[in-house]
Amino acid sequence: MSRIAILSSAVADQIAAGEVVERPASVVKELVENALDAGATTVDVTVEEGGRALIRIADDGSGMDRDDAVLCLSRHATSKITAAEQLVGVRSFGFRGEALPAIASVSELMIETASEDGAGTQVRAAAGAVLETRETTRRRGTTVSVQRLFYNTPARQKFLRSARSEWRGIMDTMHAIGALRRDVHFTVRHDGKIALDLPAVPTLRARLAELWGHRDVQRFVDIDDVQGPIHITGMVERPADVGTATRRVLLIINGRVVRDHGIVRAAEAAYRSTLPSGVRPSLVLSLHVPGGDVDVNVHPAKSEVRLRDRWPTERAVENAVRRALGLFDASAGIGWRTWTPAAAPSWRDDVHGMEPAALRATPAAEGLFAAPAEADAPADAPAYAAAVAVEMRDTDVRAVDDAPISVPPLLQLRRMYLMFEHEDGVILIDQHSAHERVLYEEFLGVLERGEAPSQRLLFPMTLHLGPDEAEAFDANRSSFEKLGFEMEGFGGHSLLVNAVPMPHPRFDAERCLRETLAALTGDRAAGDAKRHERLAATFACKAAIKAGDIMSPGEMRALYIALANTKLPAHDVHGRSTIVRLSWDELDRRFGRK
């Protein structure tokens, strides 16, 4: 049965005509969208010479019968809408019925299509005129081949860029469509080589990992938020990672890849105070808004849409992103200063009196981060924390505000959490996780940048290790030395420990060393950096104050300040939260005040 009808001229006029085919990439976009509209689950794209010589899209979609295969080359021939009202909330990519005729008019085009496996139709056209229609056999689906693009319009052919640059445009298009439709298997070949092979996957994260690489997607947190009638999903970059890799922005509204500065700006506004000026986050956002609230027919290539009510949509995006960054948001709100990536300007000038060492040396910073002189360590032993901090100050680039950190009154709950009141609500800090984060960053700094001073033991201690622990020790020996252990082999699997690090007065060096060695057994991580991270994380976990430890007010303050000075205060080294926020709004709601 034929499904295509010619639109009445009134409707046709309502659909503003426009330039659909600008470059090879726009041909690819239109043809792939047609394949998707036809319900394809597999789409193969073949390109030669950046699309100047050949663009071929093969799909396993619905196919067309003989009449439609010819009719689809006529202007305003579409199976997707029949009346203008259907433009409101139209779901298909196409609806203008002008892509195929437009492409056909500037190329040699061939359609091979079948609506069932078996008998099908082949239509050949050149410069818009149908040359031949004949029978063919093929599987259900459609293949459209476009050769010699713009061969009959020299003026436009001249505007084509190099094959390389056109190819790049095609890849950008396929990346966007690939991210949009992870339910479809796409392959892309260029000059005989496979450039992309994207099997269908269940999550956006998995698809983006294929497109960008697995490392890159780790920089993103998921977002999934419903606000009124607006549903927002996607992934947004962690503030701490912004500026460290190529910026990528992908915006999808009701299933279409579009550009919209207002929405992107709203999303960026959510990063307020978590980023230094000048860097902008990578964003992948997909919005579903009621069909009636968005006009998709404002751009010939459909790459922009018009939102009927812009303000609530932008606010919803901002809120959703802010919530996804929630923990960072909380940490930013507590007065954590923001950090800057490498090459920050003149931080040295501002640093006076603000470096962690100075803070920790204040009289209030007793206990956890105080110099051992204030606790019961020998008076001449250098403070590990202070020394590490100096170490980091010399090499680590972090911006420091002019304003000193003001520490609010802190309360310890269940010997586990620190609690305080904030403008936005009640904030809870997990003492162990927080201390772990603090120590992890310090240890990592030590492992990467130099050696830490240690405290010589009056009576060296002897450790007897199992074979696995001994192996772990051998593999990490130099790292342990950097951390401040001074040890020598003592026959068999025994170790003589002469000096130990002193990260804080409660530090139990023997236990920490044993537990770390036990955790590292069987761990043969490859690169130095990875091993350092592993060791720093393990050591931090073992060295950190535990849940169940009582903390003095001074220790709580010191921890607060030290946490504020970390790069990623809101997460511990296992990716768990160190900070949880209960907003006044939430409380008011629960008490029925709102």
Ligand X SMILES: Nc1ncnc2c1ncn2[C@@H]1O[C@H](COP(=O)(O)OP(=O)(O)O)[C@@H](O)[C@H]1O
Query: Using CB under 6 A as the criterion, which residues of the chain lie in contact with ligand X when the complex forms?
Result: 4, 30, 34-35, 37-38, 59, 61-64, 72, 77-80, 94-100, 142
Q: Does 34 bind Mg ion (CB under 5 A)?
A: yes
Q: How far is the CB of 344 from ligand X (least distance, A)?
A: 50
Q: Smaller CB distance to Mg ion: residue 103 or 325?
A: 103
Q: Provide, rounded to whole angstroms, the least separation between the CB of residue 103 and ligand X.
A: 8
Dist. CA 328–CA 348, nearest whole Å? 25
**Left (φ > 0), alpha (ψ -120 to 50) or beta: where does 407 sit?**
beta
Contacted by 61, from Mg ion, ligand X, none: CB < 5 to 8 Å by type: ligand X
- From the CB of residue 60, how many other CB atoms can be counted at a distance below 10 Å? 19
> Between residues 37 and 210, which has the closer beta carbon with respect to ligand X?
37
431 binds Mg ion (CB under 5 A): no
Q: Which does 106 bind (CB under 5 to 8 A by kind): ligand X, Mg ion, none?
A: none
Q: Which residues contact 459 (CB under 8 A, 6 or more apart)?
A: none
280: helix, strand or coil: coil
Q: Which is nearer to ligand X, 50 or 300 (CB)?
A: 300
What is the phi/psi pair of residue 497, to 5°? -105, 120
Residue 556 tokens, joined: 């709580």
From 45-53, 99-107, 254-262, 414-422, span contacting Mg ion (CB under 5 A): 99-107
In angstroms and rounded to an integer, the radius of gyration of the C-alpha atoms of the chain is 31
Cβ at position 34, least distance to Mg ion in Å: 4
Residues binding Mg ion: number (CB under 5 A):
3
Which of the choices Mg ion, ligand X, none does residue 554 contact, using the CB cut-off of 5 to 8 A by kind? none
Between residues 135 and 528, which has the closer beta carbon with respect to ligand X?
A: 135
Cβ nearer to ligand X, comparing 59 with 108: 59
Kindly tell me the sign of the dihedral angle through the C-alpha atoms of 275, 281, 284, 286: positive
- When the beta carbons of 71 and 545 are compared against ligand X, the nearer one is 71
Please choose which of ligand X, Mg ion, none residue 367 contacts, taking the beta carbon within 5 to 8 angstroms, the exact cut-off set by kind. none
Tokens found for residue 345: 């300007």
* Buried/exposed code over 217-237 (b: 16+ C-beta within 10 A; e: otherwise): bebbbebebebeebebbbbbb
CB of 301 to Mg ion, least distance (A): 11
For the CB of residue 253, give the shortest distance to ligand X in the complex, in Å.
Answer: 18
476 binds, among ligand X, Mg ion, none (CB under 5 to 8 A by kind): none
**Packing angle of the helix pair 431-449, 467-483 (nearest 10 deg):** 80
**Closest residue to ligand X, Cβ-based?**
94
Among 61, 94, 120, 569, interactor with Mg ion by CB under 5 A: 94
What span, in angstroms and rounded, lies between the C-alpha atoms of 340 and 587? 34
Least distance from ligand X to the Cβ atom of residue 82, Å: 11
The CA–CA distances, whole Å, from 367 to 355, 374, 498, 500 equal 18, 8, 24, 18
What is the smallest separation between the CB atom of 318 and Mg ion, expressed in angstroms?
34
**Considering all CA atoms of the chain, what is the largest pairwise distance in Å, rounded to the nearest integer?**
97
- Residue 128 DSSP code: T
Cβ 4 to ligand X shortest distance, Å: 5
- Compare residues 99 and 563 and give the one whose CB is closer to Mg ion: 99
User: Site for Mg ion (CB under 5 A): which residue of 27, 58, 99, 388?
Assistant: 99
Helix (H) or strand (E) holding 53: none
Q: Taking the chain, what is the end-to-end CA distance rounded to the nearest angstrom?
A: 58
Of 74 and 147, nearer to ligand X (C-beta) is: 74
- SS3 track for 197-256: EECCCCCHHHHHHHHHCHHHHCCEEEEEEEECCEEEEEEEECHHHCCCCCCCEEEEECCE
Q: Which residues bind Mg ion (CB under 5 A)?
A: 34, 94, 99
